[in-house]
A and B are shown apart, each in its own frame.
Chain A
Amino acid sequence: MVIDLDKCSGCQACVVACQAENNIAIIGPAESAKGRTIHWMELIPYIEGEYPHIKARLIPRPCMHCDHPPCTKVCPVYATYINEEGLVAQINHRCIGCRYCTTACPYTVKYFNWYPPEWPKEMKGSLNRDVSIRTKGVVEKCTFCSHRLLRARERAKAEGRDLLPEDYIPACVQACPSGAMFFGDLNDPHSMVSTLSRERRAFRLMEELGTEPKVFYLSEGT
């Protein structure tokens, strides 16, 4: 995934799209104040430098889907692992809720269900049937909408053709109104994301940790 921060307007459409797509529980204001919200995609304020040379910007932060994820190493039950697509997957019905992965992740992208997930009555009908609902006491995080990949693959199979890059994009990328988000195969040297990731403006979060995130950011002056 590539996110062009120079194009991002901070509108949070990606956040909303993600919440709706992935059946993310609605956490009330009281619990939110305690830090119990769940956002697979979140806009985080990134402040660089010190006054008077201060620079603040908002960075959309999904799961980085690292090539060397610190979280998968520590899971005692293989409930989080790198799957054959290279995505960091999460098996919600196996997770024992020890929260070791949540503490090990340097990007703090993992969330815990402190209570059973809840939605207002009106929303219950519009839950996404492709995404399983988590129970209380398990960890969840961004999956790059891997259920969409399953779907796309099945459709391609039914139509008797190969999977095309445009068949599968996550909800956040689809929703971005300013066209700041790109999704595709980083291993394919001709793909859009691959080209962008090699741009001068490209960087990744905390590259020095050696986690090899698969989310690239583009920004002038970095």
Chain B
Amino acid sequence: MSGNDVKPVEDAILFEPMMKTGKAFYLALSGLVAVILWAGWAYLHQYRNGLGVTGLARPVFWGVYITNFVFFIGISHAGTLISAILRLAKAEWRRSITRSAEVITVLVLFFGVGNILMDLGRPDRMLNIIQYAQFRSPLLWDVASITVYLTASSVYLFLPLIPDIALLRDYGGKWKGFYRIFALGWRGTEKQHRLLEKGIAFMAILVIPVAISVHTVVSFVFAMTIQPMWHSAIFGPYFVAGAIFSGIAALIVAMNLIRKVYHLEEYLRPVHFNNLGILLLVMTLLWFYFTFTEYITVYYGGEPLHMMIFWSKFTGRFSLPFWGMFFFCFVIPMPLLSFRKTRTPLGTLIASISIVIGMWLERFIIVVPTLTNPRLPNETVLYSPTWIEWSVFAGCISFFILLYMIFTKVFPIVSIWEIREGREKSVAEVQERIKTYLPGISVE
């Protein structure tokens, strides 16, 4: 039993962030708060004056906010989905990374939703979506599936937190009352463990189809219209693959930061980065495959409207973001992730940062060029985001980092009880399991 009978001195370094807070934390905190306040002011400006303060116009009705929406929802696929798959696959190396992944999902979803709300011309009327809900609209499908996803992910984050909260309650640090409430009376009995494991397994299975539905439905916002290069059957799987792709990359970035800041080199080892790096490599290739399929289909179809958008991306005015996307999503990460030698924490970090940038560009390159080339002749409108939009974007990222930082100060970012369970039980369990895989070794 890995409950409370273990002395808290073990894994002391995992408790440290909750116990001690250094100068660096407050410095980072105030920096982030400053950016957030700035963004808040920028948004207030937009709220008062109207969306005219952005770079949007007719026919480019959607821009950075919608790009951010798709991007953040994509990042959210880091956590829950990957953690669920690793749990179900009984990948033992998951133990020290699942928590940090799950937190990303829950927190980043707020910014995905937030960007949609900030994109509204009348945010004061957002509850009309519930009052006058029209379920033929893909936006409503988004509302429904993101709500389910957020709920399921929060539960999925919370369940494995319970034993750790109990550990903190018994550790005797700050906020005992707070931990007592959220530990839900966890004592680490056999029955409680059985129930918890059942709950986690159930949520892990539930969360996978929900996660896939979320990004499919996000793609449907575009694919269900008849606009050229949006109206495509590939969009569902393409978006899901892209989401997992950017999600893993975001996870690797977060893990690198946690590792450095909290000195968790012992827990987040090169092998974790290597394994995630291989996963990321698979996604890189899958991303290339989807992108290639998308564009070659358009090219061979050769419809004039589609070709206009196609060439605006390849050689026209969107060539810089387009080739930037290709460079950041494929050219940089592919070689880095291909070799064991560069699949180190640092190597995967560089690849991941590149992928995160590249995937933002991909979302942009999906949204804007199609709108820039409407079917009916129109005066050319070149969309360039204003400082308001960039500020809000910076604010979203800062806010996300801030919440993540605060989380690590309240809860252990590496699941303590799962690490201990791995140490105490899994070694023997895995040995037993291997025996069941192979003939010629008797199962005791």
Contacts and interface: CB of A to CB of B under 8 A. Distances in A.
The prevalent SS among residues of B at the interface is: loop
Nearest to B134: A78
A78 B132 contact: yes
A31 B52 contact: yes
A36 B375 contact: no
B156 to A, nearest CB: 28
B121 A97 contact: yes
A52 B221 CA distance: 41
Given A44-B377, A96-B126, A104 B50 contact: no
B269 interface: no
Interface stretch (A11-19, A107-115, A166-174, A177-185): A107-115
Given A70-B225, A116-B50, A97 B58 contact: no
A100 B379 CA distance: 21
Contacts of A138: 121-122
Nearest to B383: A35
Given A94-B128, A97-B121, A100-B139, A74 B224 contact: yes
A165 interface: no
A20 to B, nearest CB: 21
Contact of A61 (B133, B138, B376): B376
Interface in A58-80: 61, 70, 73-79
Contacts of B128: 77, 79, 94, 96
Query: Range of interface residues on chain B?
Result: 35 or more
B121 A95 contact: yes
B57 A76 contact: no
A102 B224 CA distance: 14
Given A34-B57, A35-B381, A103 B137 contact: no
A99 interface: yes
Contacts of A44: 376-378
B273 to A, nearest CB: 40
B136 interface: yes
Nearest to A106: B375
Contacts of B140: 76
Nearest to B56: A114
Most B CB contacts (10 A, CB to CB) among A46, A137, A138 go to: A137
29 contacts: A34-B57, A34-B381, A36-B52, A70-B226, A76-B137, A76-B139, A76-B143, A77-B134, A96-B122, A96-B128, A97-B51, A98-B139, A99-B62, A99-B119, A100-B221, A103-B59, A103-B61, A103-B225, A103-B227, A106-B376, A108-B378, A112-B58, A112-B61, A113-B121, A114-B57, A136-B51, A137-B120, A138-B122, A205-B376
